Amino acid sequence: MKNVDLVIIGGGPAGMSAAISAFSSGVSDILILERGGELGGILGQCIHNGFGLHKFKEELTGPEYAWRYEEQIEMLKIPYMLNTMVTGITKDKKITAVNSAEGIFEIQTKAIILAMGCRERSKGALNIPGSRPVGVYSAGTVQKYVNLKGYLPGREVVILGSGDIGLIMARRMTLEGAKVRAVCEIMPYSSGLARNVQQCLNDFGIPLKLSHTVVEIHGKSRLTGVTIAKVDENLKPVMDTKEYIPCDTLLLSVGLIPENDLSKDIGIEFDSVTGGPVVDQNRQTTVSGIFACGNVLHVHDLVDYVSDEAEIAGRAAAGYINQKAGTAINIPIKTDGKIRYTVPQRFTECNKTVLYFRTAGVYNNAVVNVRDGDKIICSKKKRKLLPAEMETITLTEEMICSVNSGCLSVELEVAEND
Amino acid sequence: MYDVAIIGAGVVGGQIARELSRYKLSVCILEKEADVATGATRANSGIVHAGFDAKEGTLKARLNVQGSKMMKEVCGDLGVPYINNGSLVIGFGDKDMEQIKALYNRGIVNGVEKLEILSKSQLERIEPNISKNAIGALFAPTGAIVSPYELAIASIGNAMDNGAELKLNFKVNSIKFKGEVYHISSDNESVCARYVVNAAGVHSDYIAGLAGDNSFKITPRKGEYMLLDKVCGHIVSHTIFRTPSEKGKGILVSPTVDGNLILGPTSVDIDDKEDNSTTAEGLDRIRREVCENVENIPLSKVITSFCGLRATGSTGDFIIDIKNRFVNVAGIESPGLTAAPAIAKYVAQILKNNSLELQEKEGFNPKRRPMHYFSMLTTEEKNKLIKENPSYGKIVCRCEMVSEGEIIDAIRTNPKAATVDGVKFRTRSGAGRCQGGFCSPSVVEILARELKTSVLDITKSGGNTNILICKTKGGGLN
């Protein structure tokens, strides 16, 4: 059995950033375990630009953004293993992994950072009635075929779901000469970033059909078309609005799910809204010494925020290994439903903390209030809040230290709701 | 010239092929699809029925009970997952309990062992998530679950290892009986055989018709299913049935041998023998009915839904007969999977009674390496194998933890996988919760490499189901 101070599971943007941060916080005995053939995770297939605007004040492509971190990993000589699948972790931080060179091996570690990312919700999970022809894929799978393998699965495309990967792929398929007939979104608003709706759909004249879904898949061996329909306010299809669209490819961009298969059985508490672990301001889970960051914790829309979050986790994991604990408190953070969730979900130390949150719907001219009992300790006005766009509110050390009621509540005061 | 040609590579045709491969015979299996086990065998509940359903004295009843008793050993030999989980028929009122009593009595007559009628409290003790409204149940401890398509794949693989031949993409469209020999043709190929076994499932009436026999008709009966994530596999431990109706055993809830939870099937007679599409009504019905029988089923954890067509015969019983050395094995609806090993023995006997000489072959090997043998090894054994062949250390399917080595084995082992679905149903790569989202591009590449062809030629399930249609601008380097 190997012994390593810090094992990071996943060598994507979260894992790399966490490793660099832990290294610069004084831990050098680190090992990144990456299941893919290279570092960078999903960024490798995201060849479009728009990455790094916050972090580097530059517009980078996915591989360029990843390379900024890979360079540092190489420079700092942080060890990593590629094509290495972690098959198990235990509460007392024993890791089992497998690769071709070493076979099945175990590592005992002092701290673990979970950075496994997320996966796409599959076609099966949607349970759309009809046949099961070839031609129905999750958008990320096709992104891999097109951008990494260099092949197209079809030429006449309908996209279900307006998640960012779906929007990006609408443009990508169009640039490859495919005809994207429509993007259907069951909600009355896009689930992708506003900038992607503009740059990937509007700029190419691709219709975004809000409050629409696919109600039937047609074609025995190859996909020949889909029937779409409008949905009512309960998201139930209105059958007399049915419309047939011929297509040979249906791409699904209907949600991302944090991939916690490894971490689900080690006693970590999970947040049923995010699908990721409940963490404190240090991104430490409810099992001490196990941290989480990036899309395995909650799905992000911008990689820049993933890097920020991973830096926190890396720094904190280094602190944990070097036994630098702050004063222990326990202040859970509640939300009111209009705010769907926050990350972190609790405080265990009084540190200045950026709270990340998402709203459940579209809200205009709203005020975000952080309440301690009856007292509002922090407020932030927002002109527009969209479920697709992650928001932040910053709490100072003093605010957290002076909490009286034992818990904080994050609420939305809405002037106008559409 | 073959001694026997078997039309249809489902679990029935497969078991018959394996049985005949024990003897000094030349056997050929003809299958219209690009792989074996693509019909009712694939979209199947995977239940080994104890044998209390079929009417006393029928062929169905006899072969069901016999097959049920043979299944464990057959699966053991073929390395197919088999779990003796027991089954329950639950009742909600006095009328149901009367029917349960009748099933109990029928089971005794049919020769089913260990049957018991359970009280409400006994039922709740062994199955805590059962509906609070259930008042009792018939308990069949001999009920079991298997992987239906793995049983067919392994049967055919074992038959091939023992000398049988398999011709895929062979869609029979003509059968001529000339000079005591059957000439069986597809559009591009012809084979000759002394005996023919018609195990063509929903198409067996068509095949019989080609040979001039129009004595029966097969109605395709749609059965839709939903499969739930492995996190739901423990919701029930037994296979849960409702008391049956004329249309069959109703919608069941059962764990699968792979650890998922299966819900279904519906039961609707249709006309189109190729229509295996799911319907909004069917899926709704499953959702509604399973919740009446079992509490706490997390329906949101569905990973896929699918539909199969049962071959419902016009006689109400299995149709197994011989005329001019042409054997019909038709109308093999439920409990066809359970009965398959017994049907195979029965068909061999019929052939023997009709002058086919069954002379045991030296060196017949009844065993086949389990498809999931790698995952069954100890860590030391796995490491030894990875050292010899590093591809066993490269995980391709992360949901089901399938290595590249296992995928290559599936492509090289009889009956050889040549499609993405073929790999999926042998290795489980792509059968997990992400449904191939991550692994399918790698599977396509491995198939292309092993089959020495372009990725553009790789199909989902044969024919025109190519995954990729062309290169991108300046793309397609590999």
Determine, for residues B398 and A85 on separate chains, whether the beta-carbon distance falls below 8 Å: yes
CA B99, CA B186: separation in Å to the nearest integer? Answer: 48
Are residues A141 and B399, on separate chains, in Cβ contact within 8 Å? Answer: no
**Would you say domain A122-254 falls under CATH 3.50.50.60?**
yes
Alpha-carbon gap: B164 to the closest alpha carbon of chain A (Å): 29
Q: Which residues of A touch B274 (CB under 8 A)?
A: 220
One-letter amino acid at B474 equals G
User: What is the pTM for the complete model shown?
Assistant: 0.95
Contact by Cβ (8 Å): B88, B117: no
| pLDDT of the residue at B474 | 75
User: Smallest CA–CA separation between B304 and chain A, in Å?
Assistant: 4
Nearest CA in chain B to A98: B393
- Which pLDDT score, from 0 to 100, does residue B361 have? 96
Pick the CATH number of A1-119+256-325 from 2.20.25.160, 3.40.50.1820, 3.50.50.60, 3.90.400.10: 3.50.50.60
Residue B117: strand, helix, or coil: strand
Q: What is the DSSP letter of B361?
A: P
- Name the residue type at position A23: F
* pLDDT, position B249: 77
Which of the residues B49, B203, B238, B372 is marked catalytic?
B49
Note whether A100 contacts B306, CB cutoff 8 Å: no
Q: What is the pLDDT of residues A200-241, one digit of tens each?
A: 999 999 999 999 999 999 999 999 999 999 999 999 999 999
Nearest residue in chain B measured CA to CA from A155: B469
pLDDT of residue A124: 85
How far is Cα A363 from Cα B454, in angstroms, rounded to an integer?
A: 51
Interface probe for B, chosen from A33, A134, A155, A259 (most Cβ of B below 10 Å), is A134
Q: What distance lies between CA B437 and its chain's CA centroid?
A: 25
Instruction: Give pLDDT tens digits for B60-76.
Output: 999 999 999 999 999 99
C-alpha distance from B350 to closest chain A C-alpha (Å): 38
**If DSSP codes are grouped into helix, strand and coil, which group holds residue B463?**
coil
Q: In this predicted model, what pLDDT tens digit does every residue of A218-229 receive, in sequence order?
A: 999 999 999 999
Classified by CATH at the fold level, domain B83-143+219-308 comes out as D-Amino Acid Oxidase; Chain A, domain 2 (3.30.9)
Cα angle at A94 between A90 and A99, to 5 degrees?
A: 110
Nearest to A153 among B304, B467, B475 (CB): B467
Tokens of B23: 């003897």
Range A403-406, long-range pairs (CB < 8 A, 24+ positions): A403/A331, A403/A347, A403/A372, A403/A377, A404/A372, A404/A373, A404/A375, A405/A372, A405/A373, A406/A331
Q: Where in chain A is the domain with CATH 3.50.50.60?
A: 1-119+256-325, 122-254
Burial class (CB in 10 A: 0-12, 13-18, 19+), A256: buried
| Mean pLDDT, residues A54-67 | 97
Among chain A residues, the shortest Cα distance to B473 is held by: A176
Cα distance between residue A18 and residue A21, in whole Å: 5
> What is the rounded distance in angstroms from the CA atom of residue A99 to the CA atom of residue A88?
13
Degrees (nearest 5) of the Cα angle B248, B251, B255?
125
Q: Is the pLDDT of residue B34 over 90?
A: yes
Q: Is residue A297 a contact partner of residue A343, using CB atoms and an 8 Å limit?
A: yes
Intervals of CATH 2.60.40 along chain A: 327-418
Here the tokens at position B422 are 């073929």
Put simply, the answer to whether A127 touches B382 (Cβ < 8 Å) is no
Q: Please give the structure tokens belonging to residue A105.
A: 């091996």
- Is B477 in CB contact (< 8 Å) with chain A? yes
CA B126 – CA A33 distance, rounded (Å): 43
pLDDT at residue B399 tops 70: yes
Report the pLDDT averaged over residues A93-100.
98
| Burial grade of B156 (CB within 10 A; 0-12, 13-18, 19 or more) | buried
CA–CA separation, B368 and B413 (whole Å): 10
Predicted pLDDT of residue B476: 60
Q: Which two tokens stand for residue B252?
A: 């069941």
Give this complex's ipTM: 0.95
Q: What pLDDT, in 10s, does the model give residues B187-215?
A: 999 999 999 999 999 999 999 999 999 99
What tens digit of pLDDT does each residue of A132-175 get? 999 999 999 999 999 999 999 999 999 999 999 999 999 999 99
Average pLDDT, chain A: 95
Domain boundaries, chain B: 83-143+219-308, 374-457
Phi-psi region of A120 (alpha: psi -120 to 50; beta: other; left: phi over 0): beta
Put simply, the chain B residues between 335 and 374 with a CB less than 8 A from any chain A CB are none
The CA distance from B326 to A35, in Å, is: 54
**Cβ-defined contact of A149 to B476 (cutoff 8 Å):** yes
CB B157 within 8 A of CB B166: no
Q: Could you give the CA distance from residue B44 to residue B149 in angstroms, rounded to a whole number?
A: 8
Tell me what pLDDT residue A135 has.
97
* Closest chain B C-alpha to A206 CA, distance in angstroms: 21
pLDDT digits (tens, 9 = 90+) for B411-436: 999 999 999 999 999 999 999 989 99
Tens digits of residue pLDDT in B111-154: 999 999 999 999 999 999 999 999 999 999 999 999 999 999 99
Q: Would you say A297 and A277 are in contact if contact means Cβ atoms under 8 Å apart?
A: yes
Contact B469 A155 (CB under 8 A): yes
Told to judge if B183 belongs to the known catalytic residues of this protein, a careful annotator would answer no
Q: What are the distances in angstroms from CA A298 to CA A270, A279, A356, A411, B443?
A: 11, 11, 10, 19, 29
Report DSSP state, residue B234.
T
| Residue B247 confidence (pLDDT) above 80 | no
Residue among B434, B440, B476 minimizing CB distance to A150: B476
* SS3 of residue A194 by DSSP: helix
Residue of B nearest to A215 (CA): B280
Contacts of B471 in chain A (CB under 8 A): 150-152
Q: Between β-strands A363-372 and B319-323, what pairing exists: parallel, antiparallel or unpaired?
A: unpaired
Pull the structure tokens for residue B247: 């249309």
Identify the pLDDT of residue B250: 86
Q: Does B441 touch chain A (CB under 8 A)?
A: yes
Reply yes or no on whether the pLDDT at A379 is more than 90: yes
Of B276, B393, B467, Cβ closest to residue A98 = B393
| Residue range A285-307, pLDDT digits in tens | 999 999 999 999 999 999 999 99
pLDDT of residue A415: 73
**What percentage of residues in chain B have a pLDDT greater than 70?**
99
- Separation in Å, CA A213 to CA A129, A156, A418: 12, 18, 21
CB B163 within 8 A of CB B75: no
What integer pLDDT is reported at residue B477 of this predicted model?
Answer: 55
pLDDT tens per residue across span B91-103:
999 999 999 999 9
Tokens representing A1 are 């059995």
B93 with B135: CB under 8 angstroms?
yes
- Whether domain A327-418 has CATH 2.70.98: no
Tell whether B282 lies on the interface with A, counting CB pairs under 8 A. yes
